[in-house]
Structure 1
């Protein structure tokens, strides 16, 4: 089964080898028929400490690295 890949914006890079990525999804509300934006933050492993705040990155599911990290940065744009 392929691993999920999400794209989002780095909102924090203060931790060592970790970035916090905000991923936004858009969907149509079932009753209001209006486009709604929802976002969620993921902690991702960044081995090279390359990603900085404001960068758009792709993250991929991986085996747990720590208590909260289950994603890894695969591409920084």
Structure 2
């Protein structure tokens, strides 16, 4: 099964080698027929500590690294 890749914005970089990434998804509400925005925070592993709050990053699904971390931040070169 391929690993999922999501794109979002870093909202916290206070932890050591961890960033919190907010990923927003948009969908049409089944009853109201309006576009709805939902967001979710993911804890991602950032080995090099190069990303700061406000950066747009891509994260890739990975095996569990810790209690909350199941994602890895992709290096800037791999995003293209």
Tell me, yes or no, whether TM beats 0.5.
yes
Per-residue deviation at 1:30? 0.3
Normalized per residue, the structure richer in strand is 1
How does the TM-score come out when normalised to structure 1?
Answer: 0.96
SS of the equivalent of 1:32 reads coil
- State the number of aligned residues: 77
Matching of residue 61 in structure 1 with residue 61 in structure 2: yes
How does the TM-score come out when normalised to structure 2?
Answer: 0.93
Q: CA RMSD in A?
A: 1.1
Partner Cα distance (2:47, 2:40) in 1: 22
Matching of residue 8 in structure 1 with residue 8 in structure 2: yes
1:50 equivalent in structure 2: 50
Per-residue deviation at 1:74? 0.5
Query: Which runs of 5 or more residues in structure 2 are unaligned?
Result: none
Partner Cα distance (1:32, 1:67) in 2: 37
Paired residues of 1:59 and 1:75 also in contact (CA < 8 A) = no
Query: Which runs of 5 or more residues in structure 1 are unaligned?
Result: none
Matching of residue 23 in structure 1 with residue 23 in structure 2: yes
Instruction: Decide whether aligned partners of structure 1 residues 16 and 25 sit closer, same or farther in structure 2, where only a CA change above 3 A counts.
Output: same
